[in-house]
Amino acid sequence: MDRTLSAPGKLFLSGEYAVLWGGVARILAVGPRIHALVRPRQDRQVDIVLADGRLSGPATPAGVNWGSPVPDAFKFVATTIDLALRLLGTEGPGFSVAFESSPSVNGLKLGLGSSARAAVLAAEAARFGLEGSFDTLKLALLAHADAQGGKGSGGDVASSFAGGVVRYRKYDVAPLLMAAKRGGLLVAMEQSPAVDLVRMGEPVFPMVFAFSGQSASTTSLVKEVERKFDEAGRRRFVERSDGLGEALETGLLRRDFSAVAGASEELQALLWELGVTKEEGLDRILRLAQTFGCAGKQSGAGGGDGAVLFAPDSAAQRSLLDALSNRGIHAFAITPDRGLQGEVVRHPVLSSWLDAL
């Protein structure tokens, strides 16, 4: 029986960079949702089908024997499936899984966490296809880190999995990465601590996402920032970020737009103090939002991608959206979205891809 899955993207409300150093991130799950379709097989073969093509191989207890180097487009999904097989120590059963492409503008990613969402969908698809009972979130966190050399906070993975708005602290996947390489992953997973993930109340103000027109390289930006800050500097940054993040959350929950605007402005100023995050498109968007009585900040590492904007009411939101559109800026209204879930209706396009195998 086929199973259709879907998961949202993410936007950071606070905690960029700080979450890498032990701070708290507040992250919003948003659409558009991306779908995956998984279909069990009667043999040991595993198929990954993307718009870019297909990757196949037989399942083994050590992972799938893909037969050739895994292309970049398949890396996060293939890594997740390999780890699921290692976790279960099984040779199958096989399954086929197809994934929608993440949204883009002129071929540029929007910065909504496409790789994290792929890992979450792949982890749940593998759990279904392999008839496993492992923790989908922990596997996705492990796979996402493994696919990028142990880097990243995992906040985008947690948001895509849980949905809504969450507070999150970085999950230490180092013991799981070690077990994945040396053996004993199942025991390590079962003994690992819970993920520090807490749902918070949802924002009451209308919101907008606006794309800067430039995709950012999070990995490069993080490396540059971490070269500049020693341990003491990172601690000071985390303290300021956590305090401002708490102020933003309080303003959102108490319907205090002045507090939201002030916290957003200070969070952005803090991020721009890092010296590498400022980008002309983002700056233009934030200044435009202020002229319409709105507030906002970059979402993510900066240097491109987009901004999350808060409006005091629906009328201001509509005016801001019109202004952004008139200036050729890709933008859309956002609301908190649900997390990873199964869908009742089978996805027709993805189904046709699997039918063609």
Q: Do 124 and 239 fall into the same domain? A: no
pLDDT averaged over every residue in the chain? 94
Q: How confident is the model at residue 205, as a pLDDT?
A: 96
Q: How confident is the model at residue 279, as a pLDDT?
A: 87
Q: Do 293 and 327 fall into the same domain? A: yes
65: CB partners within 8 A, 6+ apart: 57, 58
pLDDT higher than 90, residue 38: yes
pLDDT higher than 80, residue 96: yes
Q: Do 185 and 119 fall into the same domain? A: yes
Q: Do 237 and 319 fall into the same domain? A: yes
Q: How confident is the model at residue 173, as a pLDDT?
A: 97
Pick from 35, 40, 49, 222: nearest CA to 117: 35
Q: Convert the pLDDT of each residue in 261-302 to its tens digit.
A: 999 999 999 999 998 888 899 999 999 999 999 999 999 888
Pick from 218, 244, 172: nearest CA to 15: 244
Q: Do 71 and 86 fall into the same domain? A: yes
CA-based Rg of the chain, rounded to a whole angstrom? 20
Question: What domain range includes position 242?
Answer: 207-334
Question: What CATH number corresponds to the domain at position 259?
Answer: 3.30.70.890
**Checking DSSP bridges between strand 197-200 and strand 295-299, what pairing results, if any?**
unpaired
pLDDT higher than 80, residue 216: no
51: CB partners within 8 A, 6+ apart: 100, 101
Q: Do 108 and 164 fall into the same domain? A: yes
Q: Which token pair is 32?
A: 């558009």
| Residue 111 binned pLDDT confidence (cut-offs 50, 70, 90) | confident
User: Does residue 171 or residue 222 have the better pLDDT?
Assistant: 171
Domain tally for the chain? Answer: 2
pTM: 0.95
- Interatomic CA distance for residues 288 and 228, integer angstroms: 31
Q: How confident is the model at residue 352, as a pLDDT?
A: 96
| Residue 105 binned pLDDT confidence (cut-offs 50, 70, 90) | confident
Residues in the chain: 357
Q: How confident is the model at residue 106, as a pLDDT?
A: 79
Q: How confident is the model at residue 154, as a pLDDT?
A: 96
Q: Do 319 and 220 fall into the same domain? A: yes
Element (H, E) at 318: helix 314-326
Question: What CATH number corresponds to the domain at position 130?
Answer: 3.30.230.10
Q: Which token pair is 4?
A: 């259709």
Q: Which token pair is 318?
A: 């509509």
Q: How confident is the model at residue 302, as a pLDDT?
A: 84
Q: Do 143 and 93 fall into the same domain? A: yes
- Residue 325 CB coordination number (10 Å): 12
User: Does residue 92 or residue 176 have the better pLDDT?
Assistant: 176
Q: What percent of the chain has pLDDT over 90?
A: 83
Q: Do 116 and 252 fall into the same domain? A: no
Q: Do 327 and 253 fall into the same domain? A: yes
Q: Do 168 and 19 fall into the same domain? A: yes
Q: How confident is the model at residue 46, as a pLDDT?
A: 98
Q: Do 150 and 167 fall into the same domain? A: yes
Pick from 49, 19, 15, 25: nearest CA to 352: 49
Question: Between the CA of residue 129 and those of 50, 122, 276, what are the distances in Å?
Answer: 17, 10, 43
